[in-house]
Amino acid sequence: WSDDIVARYAIALRVDAAAAKRDPQILADLVELAARDDDPTAHAARIVVASWGAAALPVIEEQLSQTTRPELVGRLRRLRARIAPP
């Protein structure tokens, strides 16, 4: 089901990127999906990096502050590093 959600969000961004980017739930969902995927180059992560870039950092930081699961923390940190290398 997550692949379907990512595909729908990708379509929304292609149809009307400005409107899709104004919906905060889309970015939050994509960051969460990117954190759950063990492939750091997966579609959700690529969309976050390509479509939001640095604008995604506050959402990534928020999700980092809300999780204690090591695998999710690691994936969120890697996503953050793709956008803003240390």
- Tell me the pTM: 0.91
Tokens of 63: 């999700």
Mean pLDDT of the chain: 93
What pLDDT, in 10s, does the model give residues 49-74?
A: 999 999 999 999 999 999 999 999 99
Helix axes 24-36, 70-83, angle to 10 degrees: 120
- Cα separation of 33 and 2, whole Å? 7
Give the ranges where 23-69 is alpha helix by DSSP (H): 24-36, 43-47, 57-66
40 Cβ contact partners less than 8 Å away, ≥ 6 residues apart: 75, 78, 79, 82
Which one-letter DSSP state was computed for residue 42? S
Residue 86, pLDDT score: 82
User: Rounded to whole angstroms, what are the CA distances from 62 to 37, 44, 58, 67?
Assistant: 18, 17, 6, 9
